[in-house]
Amino acid sequence: MKNKLNKVLLLVVVVLVLVIVGIIAWQLWWSNPSYYAVYLRTGDLYFGELSTFPSFTLSRVYMLQVNSQNQQNPVSIQKFTNVFWGPEDSVKINRNDVVWYTRLAGNSQLVKLIQTNPTLTPSPSAQGQAPAAPSPAPSSSQSNK
């Protein structure tokens, strides 16, 4: 009787492990990334792929930048890794500092922009200032307009 119970428990554990591995593999390889907007108490607005467990973390991070001196384009989106101090592409956020967060629609203009131009390297003419980070290679978007 005890031997049969051990086999049943072992079978249940193996099935649970396989289900968990399957879910994780599906999320990593086959699901489309979901982008979120996260608004912080500081007034900063970040965009990226959100993970809430075990910690509140954004990866593939973009941020909203306001340049009140640029009348043509006072608001822009910048890849987090493009800022001059060179952070990694992941941010752990204190949950107490989050005012709200929301999932972005897959067909939103921002998601489409991120999907077509994931690096979002700003050009001097679009920002009205020097780029925040040097580009790895010159591109056609940085030509004179």
Do β-strands 98-103 and 45-51 pair in parallel, antiparallel, or remain unpaired? unpaired
Sketch out the chain's domains with CATH numbers.
33-121 (2.30.30.100)
46: number of Cβ within 10 Å:
20
pLDDT in tens, the chain (145 residues): 778 888 889 999 999 999 988 887 766 665 566 889 999 999 889 999 888 878 889 888 888 888 888 888 888 888 887 777 777 778 899 899 999 999 998 888 888 888 887 777 554 444 444 333 333 333 333 333 3
The pTM (predicted TM-score) of the whole model is 0.58
Look up residue 105 and give its amino acid.
A
Question: Residue 61: is it exposed, middle or buried by C-beta count within 10 angstroms (0-12/13-18/19+)?
Answer: buried
